[in-house]
Structure 1
Amino acid sequence: MMGRPPSDNPKSLKIEIRADQETISTLDAAAKKLNMTRSDIVRKGIEKIYDDLQ
């Protein structure tokens, strides 16, 4: 049976946030403009904040 190959970095952990409609709309607009998923945008944001702290 063929399927997706195993990932080198599986995304098995989940986080949940509370957000207002404006934040979700902003997230969706950024995701659409950059052709990325919501999760990709959030991961990028976390990386950027972390890098800024270094």
Structure 2
Amino acid sequence: MANKKMGRPTDNPKRHRIAVRLDDESKDILDKYCEQENVNQMEAARRGIKKLKDELK
């Protein structure tokens, strides 16, 4: 009987994966934001995506 491998329990599982290519300016902005806010790149990307919500029609 094989047991399913489990990670840490979460209320907000991250099921979707994306890959992004950035120019130098965008990478510099991302790095500075991450350092300033003490977050990883994926958390910074999620925050940026959520800010786009207000622009949806």
Bin the TM-score by the shorter chain: 0.7 to 0.9
Q: Is 1:31–2:11 an aligned residue pair?
A: no
Number of aligned positions between the proteins:
52
The runs of 4+ residues in structure 1 deviating greater than 3 Å are none
Q: Whose Rg is larger?
A: 2
Structure 1 residues without counterparts, runs of 5 or longer: none
Q: What TM-score do you get using the length of structure 2 for normalisation?
A: 0.71
**Which structure shows the bigger proportion of residues in helix conformation?**
1
Partner secondary structure for residue 11 of structure 1: coil
Structure 2 residues without counterparts, runs of 5 or longer: 1-5
Aligned residue number for residue 8 of structure 1: 11
% identity of equivalent residues: 35
C-alpha RMSD over aligned residues = 2.0
Q: What TM-score do you get using the length of structure 1 for normalisation?
A: 0.74
